[in-house]
């Protein structure tokens, strides 16, 4: 067996093994439907514990590369030859995704990009195709875990439900979940005071057009260690929220191109593209991402996608689908806009892989914001340009002033550099995993 675990490597052994196995699957050394080596065999060959191998296999399962079959072992379900779901026909959401969606519904963002349940409202569970894009107005229900937790000893769940004032349980659970995900105010306040004390009147300075080097440098290092994205500071553009950056993308790539978005999708994406007066195609979502027939028959040059839990459908693109997106973009000078909202809070044992990190074609524009991870009131986002688009951006749009105040940029740079930002993300992910286990 060719796999090797470096004992001195700071990367955990299960992640080293996961990456090597994933590469073999991508290279089709383990083709579709091939059986993976047993956990005991891998553990014996590499002189590691079966728990380590189990963790690596669990990651591959969660990301859609393999699946466990009862009393048979693990089998590859990833296919590079097409974009259709390679496993047997599945429900729109897996059990893990459904639990995650249920936990998160009450913690919606102020601007409406929280999770909504479209199944039964805008979705067709029989066909696996979603329709409609308006935010569901019905309040989320109370999870069974919350009911169980609120019932005193000897009191039935029915009694708790019947005795509670209308809306009280929902409001309490929303408040509890929101508090669990919020960035600690004390940490934010301390950081703000530190920036004022350390920077003094420098917080009043005008920001460079791309954004402060301190923040762009901090983001660059954070993306490299947590998302696998290698990008220099000159590739990162700071702006006041996603909508502003969407407009810059149109100005950069051109109004003569045809743009495509997921259907349904976050409504402001469509609104911005409509306001920019560009031709727009809406591609229907299935259970694993955009339907392949619609993707390959569209005439778009630019595809705007949210691979992780697209709003409002909650659909997460499978590994096969993500690679299909990259194959689509690799034909005829096309571009992908990867809107990576909220993926830091994935309950996977590692953050979701980005399309930007998986391509060498320099045709993916990566976007993210701090609205969910810190606070929606900050209105700070950023995009990472592929290296080949940097000169074009400087020529066409380099004159635009940065729309984020210098003070806020210093605060975010300090949060990232001090480790407080990542500690918060890891804390939320642990809590989400705990809530998921309690909901089972």
- 184 contacts: CB under 8 Å, gap ≥ 6: 424
Q: What's the CATH fold of domain 13-76? A: Arc Repressor Mutant, subunit A (1.10.10)
Pair type for strands 302-305 and 364-369: unpaired
Helices (DSSP H) in 50-108: which residue ranges?
50-62, 95-104
Paired tokens of 188 = 């934010």
pLDDT at 341: 76
Phi, psi torsion values for 315, nearest 5 degrees: -75, 130
pLDDT at 140: 37
**Crossing angle (nearest 10°) for helices 213-226 and 420-439:** 40
In CATH, the number for domain 186-424 is 3.40.640.10
Q: Tens of pLDDT along the chain (440 residues)?
A: 788 888 888 888 888 899 889 888 888 888 888 899 999 889 888 889 999 999 889 888 877 888 999 888 999 988 766 543 333 333 333 444 444 444 444 344 333 443 333 333 344 433 344 444 333 333 333 333 433 333 444 444 444 334 444 444 444 443 444 455 688 899 999 999 999 999 999 999 999 999 999 999 999 999 988 888 999 999 999 999 899 999 999 999 999 999 999 999 999 999 999 999 999 999 999 999 999 999 999 999 999 999 988 889 989 898 889 999 999 999 888 999 999 876 677 666 566 678 998 888 999 999 999 988 898 888 899 999 999 999 999 999 999 999 999 999 999 999 999 999 988 888 887 787 777 666 65
Nearest C-alpha neighbor of 368 from the set 267, 241, 250, 273: 241
CB 369 within 8 A of CB 242: yes
What residue ranges do the domains of the chain occupy?
A: 13-76, 186-424
Paired tokens of 21 = 């196995």
Nearest C-alpha neighbor of 281 from the set 268, 294, 267: 294
pLDDT at 439: 65
Nearest C-alpha neighbor of 318 from the set 57, 90, 58, 124: 90
pLDDT at 237: 98
pLDDT at 432: 76
**Which letter, b or e, does each residue of 233-267 get, where b requires 16 or more Cβ atoms within 10 Å of its Cβ?**
bbbbbbbbbbbbbbebbbebbeeeeebbbbbbbbe
Nearest C-alpha neighbor of 368 from the set 378, 360, 397, 359: 378
């Amino acid at each position: 067996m060719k796999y090797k675990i470096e004992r001195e490597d700071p990367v955990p052994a299960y992640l080293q093994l996961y990456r090597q196995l994933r590469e073999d699957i991508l290279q089709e050394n383990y083709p579709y439907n091939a059986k993976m080596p047993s956990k005991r065999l891998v553990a014996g060959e590499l002189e590691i514990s079966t728990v380590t191998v189990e963790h690596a296999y669990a990651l591959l399962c969660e990301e859609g590369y393999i699946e466990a079959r009862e009393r048979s072992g693990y089998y590859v379900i990833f296919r590079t030859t097409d974009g259709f779901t390679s496993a047997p026909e599945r429900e729109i959401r897996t059990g893990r995704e459904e639990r995650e969606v249920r936990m998160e519904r009450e913690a919606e963002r102020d601007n409406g990009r929280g999770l909504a349940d479209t199944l039964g409202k805008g979705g067709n569970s029989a066909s696996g195709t979603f329709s409609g894009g308006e935010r569901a107005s019905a309040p989320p229900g109370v999870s069974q875990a919350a009911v169980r937790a609120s019932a005193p000893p000897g009191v039935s769940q029915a009694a708790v439900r019947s005795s509670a004032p209308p809306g009280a349980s929902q409001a309490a659970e929303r408040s509890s979940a929101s508090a669990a995900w919020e960035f600690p105010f004390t940490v934010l306040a301390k950081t703000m005071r530190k920036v004022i004390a350390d920077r003094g009147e420098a917080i009043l300075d005008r920001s460079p057009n791309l954004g402060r080097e301190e923040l762009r440098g901090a983001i660059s290092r954070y993306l490299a260690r947590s998302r696998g994205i290698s990008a220099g500071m000159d590739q990162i553009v700071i702006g006041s929220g996603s909508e502003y950056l969407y407009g810059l993308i149109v100005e950069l790539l051109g109004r003569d191109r045809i743009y495509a978005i997921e259907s349904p999708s976050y409504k402001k994406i469509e609104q911005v593209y409509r306001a920019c007066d560009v031709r727009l195609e809406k591609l229907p979502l299935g259970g694993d991402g955009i339907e392949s027939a619609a993707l390959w028959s569209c005439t778009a040059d630019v595809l705007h996608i949210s691979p992780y839990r697209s709003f409002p459908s909650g659909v997460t693109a499978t590994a096969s689908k993500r690679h299909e997106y990259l194959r689509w973009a690799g034909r005829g000078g096309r571009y992908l806009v990867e809107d990576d909202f909220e993926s830091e809070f994935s309950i996977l044992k590692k953050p979701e892989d980005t399309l930007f990190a998986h391509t060498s074609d320099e045709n993916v524009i990566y976007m993210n914001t701090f609205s969910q991870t810190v606070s929606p009131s900050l209105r700070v986002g950023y995009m990472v340009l592929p290296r080949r688009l940097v000169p074009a951006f400087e020529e066409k749009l380099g004159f635009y002033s940065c729309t984020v105040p210098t003070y806020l940029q210093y605060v975010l740079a300090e949060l990232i550099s001090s480790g407080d930002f990542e500690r918060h993300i890891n804390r939320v992910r642990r809590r989400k995993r705990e809530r998921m286990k309690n909901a089972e």
